[in-house]
Each structure stands twice: as structure tokens, then as C-alpha cells.
Amino acid sequence: MTPGLPQNTLSLSPSQLAPQNIFEKNQNSSTTCSGYCTRCNSLHTFSENNAGKACLELMELFRIKQRIDLESPAHKADPRFSTDYLFGQARGKMFGILECFDVTGNKVILKAFSGQYNGIWEVDGWAPPLFQVDAFEDLTSSIEKKIKSLGREMECYPPDSSERKKLQRERKKLSQDLMKEIHGLYQVTNFRGETRSLGDVYTGHNGIPTGTGDCCAPKLFHLAARKNLKPLGLAEFYWGKENKSQTKESETFYPSCREKCEPILGFLLCGLQGTGHE
Ligand SMILES: [Zn+2]
Ligand SMILES: [Zn+2]
């Protein structure tokens, strides 16, 4: 969270932007994500610093341009990337910024959206997912076809028949195997330069929730580690129609999630010693 930061800050006049100015002078040290590292047997935490300010600038771009394909000139804007999508049935989404230094000391801003945007995994200027999109789509489409055809075959047998139950078990096993294979496609790299699959780094106990690795924080830290960047600060905000459970509303900052991110961030943050983030 970003305490003291009012919503709609950017709709205020510059003289009313006191919280943002305070921000610039005193870097925000509130923790925006953390995870337990099994290698170091300790909790790795990471704070906001100036990433919240960069998020406010991104929000202002969303307001002005009403789209996320910010690399494209207006006449080449792709309607699939309009922010209208976030205010419709699909509802809003988390966006995040990781502020980094490159090896020469230049500041680099990485940005990410959670999951897919309007069914699309990769958008220019945004952190990619943790897997090769082609491999992901090949795998899911072939197994989903099999799952559907088993479903159709099941319909040919009476509900309590042994044939139908057998097919049902087969279908369930296929879905479970698919999830395992999908998690195997997710590769995460940390700041020690180690790369592991999602299943290997997940520290939770109840199986890996669907969507783990698709949030902003893991995409951003992985990308920074791959690009040999040194992260300085992370902030994440929600943009669009409030989520179904009404726990997230537009233009508001939130820390990384507990269910999906915390169990993999211990690994992802490992190796950041000496940056004040250990
Ligand atoms: Zn998350
Ligand atoms: Zn560690």
C-alpha cells in the first residue's frame, strides 16, 4: 500500500500534489512484496522507493491515451489494447512498475500487466509472461482438444455406467497432467542467476494456484534478472472496473498478492544483497 497517497492525485492541480512531492524527497520504504527464501532461510522483502511515482505517471498516460499499446503512435493504436476493455465484463487488472538501474547506472523502468490483456500474452513495451507463448499454446490446445473429445465420448454412456466413470477419471487425470506441464513451462530466474521451474520454487503447501507466475511482480523481477538489471523499487496498482470480490478498486495501490506471489518471491528476490533490499 501507499499510505498517504490520495486517489485521483493527478486530477489535482500541481500545488495540491504535496504527497507526490514528499515521495520524491523521501523514498517510500514501505514493503510492497516479500517471500520466504528456503535457500537463505529468511524472508526477502522489497520496497516501493520511487516506483509509486512512476505508476502515477503511467496512470496519467492511461487517462490521456485510453490504451496500453503506448509504444504505438495514435494512428496505429490497436483496438484490442484499449483501456475500455478494463471497464467492461472482464473488469480491471493489476499493473506494476519495477524501477531498476542498468550496469552503467542508468535508470530503467520495467512495466507489467497481470495475466493476459484481452486474451493476449505479449504486448510491446510490457514484461512478457514467464513461458514461451508458442509452447504454451501448443500444449494447451492439443490437450484441451483431447479433454473435449473425452467429454463428448462420455455423453454416449449412461450416467452411472462404468464406461462413463472410466472416461471421467481419464479426463480428470488429463487436466491434472496439463496443469503440471503448464507449470513446467514457467521458468523463473533470480538475482543469483539461477533458473528454475515454477513447481521447484513454489513454497506453498496446497498445490500451485492457477495463475501463479502471471502477476506483475514475478514477471518484473524475472525480466530484471534476465536483463542484468538491479531493481530499486516496485509498486503495483489496479486500473478498471472493481473486481468481483470488491477488494480492488481503480487507481489504488496494492502490495503483491499472498496466495500466488509470496510463495515464489522468496526465490525471485534471492541474490539482491547489497541493494538494501535483503
Ligand atoms: Zn500475485
Ligand atoms: Zn535467498
CB atoms within 5 A of ion ligand 1 belong to: 215, 257, 260-261
Q: Is residue 273 part of a domain?
A: no
Which cell numbers in the block locate residue 205?
503447501
Crossing angle for the helix pair 162-185 and 133-154, to the nearest 10 degrees: 170
Query: Rounded to the nearest whole angstrom, what is the distance from the C-alpha of residue 41 to the centroid of ligand 2?
Result: 7
Q: Is residue 93 part of a domain?
A: yes
Q: Is residue 3 part of a domain?
A: no
Query: Rounded to the nearest whole angstrom, what is the distance from the C-alpha of residue 196 to the centroid of ligand 2?
Result: 14
- Could you say which ligand is closest to the alpha carbon of residue 267? 2
Query: Rounded to the nearest whole angstrom, what is the distance from the C-alpha of residue 270 to the centroid of ligand 2?
Result: 4
- Report the alpha-carbon distance of residue 255 to residue 140 in Å, rounded: 31
Q: Is residue 88 part of a domain?
A: yes
Query: Rounded to the nearest whole angstrom, what is the distance from the C-alpha of residue 115 to the centroid of ligand 1?
Result: 10
Phi, psi of 93 (to 5 degrees): -155, 155
Q: Are strands 42-49 and 28-37 parallel, antiparallel or unpaired?
A: antiparallel
pTM (predicted TM-score): 0.85
What's the total number of domains in the chain?
A: 1
Contact 45, 31 (CB under 8 A): yes
Range of the domain at 98: 9-129+216-268
- Report the alpha-carbon distance of residue 124 to residue 34 in Å, rounded: 28
Per-residue pLDDT of the chain (278 residues; tens, 9 = 90+): 444 444 444 433 333 333 443 344 456 788 899 999 999 999 999 999 999 999 999 999 999 999 999 999 999 999 999 999 999 999 999 999 999 999 999 999 999 999 999 999 999 999 999 999 999 999 999 898 999 999 999 999 998 999 999 999 999 999 989 988 999 999 999 999 999 999 999 999 888 999 999 999 999 999 999 999 999 999 999 999 999 999 999 999 999 999 999 999 999 999 996 444 44
